[in-house]
Amino acid sequence: MTTVTIERLGQQGDGVAPGPLFVPLTLPGEIVSGTLEGDALVDISIEAPSSDRVKAPCSHFRSCGGCQLQHASDDLVAAWKRDLVVTALAVHGIETEVHPTITSPEKSRRRATFAARRTKKGAMVGFHARKSDAIIPVPNCILVTDGLAGVAPLAEALAVAGASRKAALSVTVTEGLEGLDVAVAGGKPLDGPLRIVLAGLCEAHRLARLTWDDELIGMRVPPAQAIGNASVVPPPGGFLQATQHGQETLTALVQKIVGGAKSVADLFAGCGTFALPLAEKAEVLAVEGASDMIAALDAGWRQAQGLKRVRTEARDLFRRPLLPDELARFDAVVLDPPRAGAAVQIAELAKAKPPIIAHVSCNPQTFARDAATLQDAGYVLEWVQPVDQFRWSAHVELVGSFRLAHTR
């Protein structure tokens, strides 16, 4: 047995001891013992627990891999996620006000992907175990909304109907205004009999929409989402903020940064999370690489009442970023890139110098890299707000407010 003291939490939420050694489900300051396997300890015993150690609120925590940090107090998790942002900025020499983390409540995840595997006697549905492809049933999950909590019978029926014995189905379920939007991946090829069975399941479970490996099986009603004053039908599997609370929080922060801007460019716009609410007061150019998502945004705008003009463009901003002459007429720019960040587009923004930039990010490291580019171009990072939509996970999102120094 090896005994160590946990110094800190690592990027994935594991405890880190000198070495470094990675020790899952431990907290800073704890003395733990276990069996050394490479750079990790296993078969862990907590010799001296942290005062921040709590009883996990979910009965599935020890076996399910869906959450990493239910053994830690809410205050510790919120402070750690804030520190991830502070540390990422410090690597680039950036100091700014980083606000306390805003965390989404329990039972607020409106979108989740379940694994469903056919068995000899039926099917098994749940989330994967930690670092394993084993499926753990989660009937008492406290992460997802009540609407998602009851999807096991549907997912079991989908697996029995169309899963092979060799691989699990990936069943992504999103709760919308009119019911559940279900997108299945990894199933058997569609044929006539399977289509009939799946259409029957769509009707029997009163689904808004069911797709099978991107092919529409049935749509009883459009699976709409409320975005500001608009109603938008995302494409199957299209990006959507994980919680309604998170969407509203991020939107309010972006609106606060943009303020009274009359013209706004929304880059990596998705289905309009920011573009549509901003259009209540400003004209917006929404740019997104996925043509089906930008089409959903445009349709939502056209059907809404009281919004100013929203122009849309399907464009790969990694290969064809907006250039300074295209950005010149905007009072503010909003961008929400994927985890890789937006280095190419940021470089053009640094040249164009729009007076205000609201930068939303799901990766503190790439955000800090891009923030350094903007800072070198004369921007001040006024503040950063961490947002925790993925409660009890190692994931953190954030919003940063940038303003040209001479416009302050």
Nearest to 400 by CA among 292, 250, 295: 250
Q: Return the bridge partners of 8, or none.
A: 16
Contacts of residue 381, defined as CB under 8 A and 6 or more positions apart, other chains included, come to 89, 94, 96, 371, 374, 375, 400, 401, 402
Calculated CA dihedral for residues 11, 13, 15, 17, nearest 10 degrees = -10
DSSP labels for 84-132? Answer: HHHHHHHHTT---EEPPPEEPPTT-B-EEEEEEEE-SSSEEEEEEBTTS
Cα–Cα distance, 84 to 390 (Å, whole number): 15
Q: Which residue has the tokens 């903007």?
A: 374
Q: Return the bridge partners of 243, or none.
A: 109
Contact 176, 244 (CB under 8 A): no
Contact 194, 201 (CB under 8 A): no
Q: Return the bridge partners of 23, or none.
A: 15
DSSP category for residue 235: P
Contact 359, 337 (CB under 8 A): no
Token pair belonging to 89: 């900025």
Q: Is 64 a catalytic site residue? A: no
57 cis-preceded (ω within 30 degrees of 0): no
Q: Return the bridge partners of 171, or none.
A: 114, 184
Cα–Cα distance, 391 to 68 (Å, whole number): 9
Nearest to 238 by CA among 282, 284, 176, 194: 176
Nearest to 266 by CA among 258, 274, 255: 274
Nearest to 357 by CA among 377, 339, 386: 377
Looking only at the bridges linking them, the beta strands covering 356-361 and 332-335 are parallel
Active-site residue, selected from the candidate residues 64, 67, 202, 362:
362
Cα–Cα distance, 395 to 376 (Å, whole number): 28
Q: Which residues have a catalytic role annotated?
A: 362
